[in-house]
Structure 1
């Protein structure tokens, strides 16, 4: 570890601990399942564009990321130490288990959660986790979320985007939301490969991944959930999204205006009145993280329009691993209490973490 005084250190000497809230991992079984899927003649192109790259490419970046995804011990902790990250909230990387047949997806989610819980038990002062579920079987997904929280000690659930082209706005999936609300835990909606029916214009320009397509699809997913009335049905439900809210905070004025106009016009059967505005749901039911968005104007804007209590730090390891981005957050021109909320106390509250206070 560097002795450079500008290098972030763990331990909280700066007045807060750094909790990173969108840190990905994978298991060998998951990579094996992805590889088997890639052998099919009918493999989904969005899956192939994402999982196929990390399954088959021999370039340096995917090989390094794959190695780091699989490590739930020494290398990951060493990387955390080098970047001053005190605790990582671990979640299953995209595309997770949602591309698999129903039975295999359910079984792999359970075994993955067992391995995650074991890693958290081995490193209780460094790791916490979110339970993976297989929404292709909504009832089983709800039960796995309950098991993950009540038996394994996990702190919510993660769903990697759409499930074979279907979004959580479909009431078929709402047992998952019901379980999350009953358990009082959040659901983290993480990006995944684009669905087949929207992939081509993004992919042909190289814009289907984290550069743009991920944010477009995940922002769409959250908007569909809001406008479908999910938060009216489950008013205590909490949803977390990354990457500075997948751009939605920057569109709130237009979203509110055009949503109201569209409802009044009765143009779409699918768009019904909701009890509150989109911006109100964003401020009351949604939390965002700064994963991949280490940019002061964006972070401060999100704190201004959503509330400082809604924004949490994330690194997005191992896809983003830049110590300079940690320093960007450390050096934000915000007061000490707001910075502590960003790095530590918001995450403790939202995910129910029990983290010792810094000395």
Structure 2
């Protein structure tokens, strides 16, 4: 799977840095563990459908993904150069540590963070990274998150949505959210296949993956965080969500209306009054990326309803690697300053990136 760079402008000509904010990677050790789990029929149906496809299919796209996921050097950099991407914010690919038993999750998170931090030190102009943790060992997760941020210089936490069927609104995970708030770094809520209870009807129809199931599962996770009152408890928590918010911005009116009705009716024990409307948390706590969603009408609508300071560029490499999608976003109907904000400034602010370092490696080749 290749991207054609013909007529793709360099970042020098564009007038802004292209910072891609949802880019995946994986250590070889984690993929080897996934293969052993598949051989033993471990991990559940969602894991098998996601990892089984990418680890075993001979189709062009999964072969390309397998080849590129583990590369933190020349091949990845060449692909970035070919489409004019200056800098990538890297996170552990789905399902990350979250399909693993607690001991294995802890070991893979530590190994992943060490490898990723080394790549960021080696290529500071090109890479930044998000920490991984083993979520089920909450004290260990807090310790590893703190090490990843304060010692290794990573820029946030990657959470590949559900944690073997559990969600971050559950009180057991509050210490992790408290640590994120104290460290002032964002949580990147990234998709996973639906949990074992949800996946059945979606899988029957072939809709369990990126085509729809990811959005169903991750959008629900984000809504659980909002409607449970987590963002009232942790008002300074920063959350980044890809794919333009997994469709939720298009539901704002209905979400606000229905949530208000549920609060009034006291129909659900889980639904309590909130300090803000559901949609208003997107303007206070949540940032969205355009990963896999380069179509101008959807980007422009999302910027309108959440604010232009809340939407930023992403590619979704290596799962979605197309030069045409970069050009589509270069051609968005925005002013020059709005494009600087979209491609560059929002990411620098949210992830606390070093603009000087990134500028020093500015892409000048196609």
State the distance in 2 between where 1:190 and 1:259 align.
Answer: 24
* 1:45 maps to 2:45: yes
State the distance in 2 between where 1:60 and 1:13 align.
Answer: 32
State the distance in 1 between where 2:162 and 2:38 align.
Answer: 19
* 1:7 maps to 2:8: yes
Residues 273-320 of structure 1 show CA distances to partners (whole Å, capped at 9, x for unaligned) of 111111110111000000000000000011100000000100000001
Is the Cα contact below 8 Å between 1:296 and 1:332 reproduced in 2?
yes
1:132 alignment partner, SS class: coil
2:140 alignment partner, SS class: helix
CA root-mean-square deviation: 1.5
State the distance in 2 between where 1:329 and 1:59 align.
Answer: 28
Please, which runs of 5 or more residues in structure 1 have no aligned partner? none
Aligned to 1:242: 242
Is the Cα contact below 8 Å between 1:69 and 1:318 reproduced in 2?
yes
Aligned to 2:229: 229
Aligned to 1:110: 110
* 1:259 maps to 2:259: yes
Please give the residue correspondences for 1:153-302 in structure 2 after superposition, counting only pairs within 5 Å.
Answer: 153-302=153-302
Please give the residue correspondences for 1:22-37 in structure 2 after superposition, counting only pairs within 5 Å.
Answer: 22-37=22-37
State the distance in 1 between where 2:167 and 2:330 align.
Answer: 36
Aligned to 1:63: 63
Shift of 1:43: 3.5
Residues 184-208 of structure 1 show CA distances to partners (whole Å, capped at 9, x for unaligned) of 0000000011101111111111100
Is the Cα contact below 8 Å between 1:167 and 1:221 reproduced in 2?
yes
Aligned length: 357
1:333 alignment partner, SS class: coil
Aligned to 1:90: 90
Aligned to 2:314: 314
Shift of 1:143: 1.5
Is the Cα contact below 8 Å between 2:43 and 2:99 reproduced in 1?
no
Residues 108-157 of structure 1 show CA distances to partners (whole Å, capped at 9, x for unaligned) of 10110100001111111100010011111122112111111100000000
Shift of 1:40: 2.8
Is the Cα contact below 8 Å between 2:5 and 2:323 reproduced in 1?
no
Shift of 1:340: 0.7
State the distance in 1 between where 2:201 and 2:249 align.
Answer: 25
Q: TM-score, normalised by structure 2?
A: 0.95
Report the CA distance shift for 1:275/1:315 in structure 2 as closer, same or farther (over 3 A).
same
Shift of 1:355: 1.5
Is the Cα contact below 8 Å between 1:9 and 1:82 reproduced in 2?
no
State the distance in 2 between where 1:198 and 1:278 align.
Answer: 23
Please, which runs of 5 or more residues in structure 2 have no aligned partner? none
Shift of 1:3: 8.4
Shift of 1:62: 1.2
Q: TM-score, normalised by structure 1?
A: 0.97
1:97 alignment partner, SS class: helix
Deviates more, 1:343-352 or 1:267-276: 267-276
Aligned to 2:341: 341
1:240 alignment partner, SS class: strand
Is the Cα contact below 8 Å between 1:8 and 1:82 reproduced in 2?
no
Residues 226-271 of structure 1 show CA distances to partners (whole Å, capped at 9, x for unaligned) of 0111111111000000001100111000000100100111011111
Is the Cα contact below 8 Å between 2:4 and 2:323 reproduced in 1?
no
1:88 alignment partner, SS class: strand
Shift of 1:41: 4.1
